[in-house]
Amino acid sequence: MKKFFLAAALIAGSSLCADTLMTGVVNFTSCVTDSKYGKKEQENFEALRKQMATMMENTEKEFKEVAAKCEDTEYLDSLAPKAEEELKVKYQNIEFRRATSEIRNPDGSRVFHLPDMEVPADWSQVACDILAQKYFRKAGVPAHLAPVVEHDVPDWLWRRVPDEALLADLPAGRRSESETSAKQVFDRLAGTWTYWGWKGG
């Protein structure tokens, strides 16, 4: 009889442990997406993303305005020589710095890593991360480009295509690369939008 009660107790204890383990399972995804803290973090990230997007749009707009003024001969003629020179070097005088963007899993393993990227000196780490992970072209950027002459478009706005002659002199693995500088993104986006606007009248 004692053995019977002992066996029953062990079975009951095992069932209790199993039930306890089952009720202890946590859905991490739900915690992140549905919890008050998780939702707050998502809202904060979305706000930072919008802030970064607005910052980039404003910067690109400024660069485009400067480029347009530099090509407006009437405007340049109206400026004193010193003011004209200051306008031309405004873009070049923007201070840049080197930064690193990185994403890691909770266990510490690395998901994304981009060292030595070039960004405006006053950008935050969040801004650098968004640029690296959302805006940089990760591959397929030709190492050398050549302009496409279009007589109805000013030369500073000509499209660029891969320079096959120069690329042929490079090893196959070095003919294309990824973007690593904010200047590449600014030039690509502002140049594309300006070109579309010019062609569209």
Q: Rounded CA gap, 163 and 183, in Å?
A: 20
The three-class DSSP label of residue 24 is coil
138-156 residue pLDDT tens:
889 999 999 999 988 888 8
Q: Rounded CA gap, 49 and 154, in Å?
A: 35
Look at residue 2 and tell me whether its pLDDT is greater than 60.
no
- Triad 191, 161, 198: Cα angle to 5°: 35
36-60 residue pLDDT tens:
767 777 777 787 778 777 877 777 7
* pTM, rounded to two decimals: 0.56
The tokens of 10 are what? 């062990």
The tokens of 132 are what? 């690296």
5-37 residue pLDDT tens:
444 444 444 444 444 444 555 555 665 567 776
The tokens of 193 are what? 């939008």
